[in-house]
Amino acid sequence: MKILCVAEKPSIAKAVAEHLSGGRSETRNTRNKYIKNYVFDYDFGGQPWGNCTVTMTSVLGHITAVEFPSEYKDWKHPPPERLFDAPVNTVIADDKKDIAQNIETQARYSQGLCIWTDCDREGEHIGHEIREAARKGNAALTVKRARFSNIERAHILHAARHLIMLDDRQVNAVAARIELDLRIGYALTRFLSNNLKSLGGPLANLVISYGSCQFPTLGFVVDRYFRVKNFKPETFWSIKVKHKKDGIDVNFSWLRNRLFDRASVVILYERCLAAKTAVVTKVQEKPTKKWKPLPLTTVELQKMSTRFLRMTGQQAMTAAESLYNKGFISYPRTETDRFDKGMNLRTLVQKQAQDNRWGAFAQNLMNGGFQQPRDGRHDDKAHPPIHPITYAGPSAALNEFEKKIYEFVVRRFLACCSEDAKGVATDIDILYGEESFHAHGVIVLERNYLEVYVYEKWTGTAELPKFTLGERFEPHEAMMTEGKTAPQAI
């Protein structure tokens, strides 16, 4: 029996072929310089196929596109609103015809088709495109789909033995989104461009494009720009109290925070000075903790990369995609922030024990420190959180961005498998004159996950001296301060 396997990208096809063939595949060129066909024998285990001859190939993402018929492509006629009910054609893109032809040709000699696209909606639709191209060569093909989220060998072999059906509901959802993007984008781009041409000047020859995501985002950016530009700062005043006890400086903050009337603050400040002494009205000590991070999602990876690694979101995703294709991390596009209870996370932790940076921490987890990661609220039912698959040692061929992302993913994963940081929080309230002030401090007792997750600090870790309820003291310093309001940060 002959089976045609098709992946979403060449690197995945090569990796899957390597695992399924045990490194004994025959490589054949195609008419597209990026696409190779890998031929080998593999036993699928009898559901629905057994021992088969496999041809593994790939596409380069989507192979089809949607477009309007030629009579709707004139910008002057018909009017833009007609594009909302105009017919739409699905065509194979010119630069993808060789790829589609390769699939059609290989399908003629096959009895089954196995789709190896990413396990998300977009991957499901690409799988549908592959199925339609293959059926042009053989309409009687049995079609199955492999569900996988990384290209670790054991995971790929498990996916090959547990094939599922293509989800046509997800296919239809993506198809609807693609058609809506076409109709809305074309209609509004044409409407904006045609109407702004009449203003002349630089707009006369420009195409003012509209995108369902980028155009509203531009609106948010412009709105934020004008809010900042038109912001008028206001002057405010506050009172700060400082005291030194047992060699420790304590800063007490005013519970009113700030007032915008200087005369009122002057009166309150003078009453404080007239009182001379402050009295402790509250002393509270209680255990506290800093929660370990949730499992890593795509949005969190981009945010943290920008904040801590000095990388743009695009640079971070490019590096993460490369690491995924090389088999070092799981699929990096996921909304899931909770691990499936059936995943063997300890095995993944053990693989990191050999590293000289975080290996000792990983080994400590294996020696009894391992804790199940926290469960977030999101699960896209397609991919697990981003996590390391295998160890990338110093000899791994990674560029600087890939090294940074890999280290972040590993440290984040190990932090998830550790304990929360633990400490003691102390709160002191005082009454100075008729005004209340507050001081807060934290003593860190057990750093735990903070030992490996170097990107995060426990802020506000000031140590406070010992105060007793009802204690009176004369503050070393009390001052009235002035400041100005600033635009709210995004």
- CB atoms under 10 Å from CB of 398, counted, come to 20
What's the Rg (C-alpha) of the chain? 31
Burial of 25 (0-12, 13-18, 19+ CB in 10 A): buried
Give the chain's end-to-end CA distance (angstroms, integer): 59
Order of all β-strands in the sheet with 421-432: 472-473, 278-290, 421-432, 435-446, 248-254, 235-245, 477-484
Sign (positive/negative) of CA torsion 294, 299, 300, 301? Answer: positive
E strand map for 101-255: 112-116, 142-145, 235-245, 248-254
Which residues face 112 on adjacent strands? 3, 142
Say if residues 152 and 327 touch (Cβ distance below 8 Å).
yes
The pair phi, psi for residue 113, each rounded to 5°, is -125, 130
* Residue 210 bears catalytic tag: no
Please report where in the chains the tokens 């301060």 appear, as a residue.
481
- Rounded (10°) CA dihedral 60, 63, 67, 70: 110
The two three-digit tokens of residue 90, written as one number:
């699905």
Cα separation of 53 and 110, whole Å?
9
Cα separation of 474 and 96, whole Å?
80
Cα separation of 68 and 78, whole Å?
12
The pair phi, psi for residue 464, each rounded to 5°, is -105, 145
Active-site residue, from 324, 331, 449, 453 = 331
Please report where in the chains the tokens 């003593």 appear, as a residue.
443
DSSP string for residues in 381-395: SS-PPB-B-S---TT
Which residues face 481 on adjacent strands? 238
Cα separation of 317 and 112, whole Å?
34
The two three-digit tokens of residue 135, written as one number:
């059926």
Cα separation of 117 and 122, whole Å?
9
Helix 298-308, helix 313-325: angle, nearest 10: 120
Say if residues 405 and 392 touch (Cβ distance below 8 Å).
no
Q: Supply the residues annotated as catalytic.
A: 331
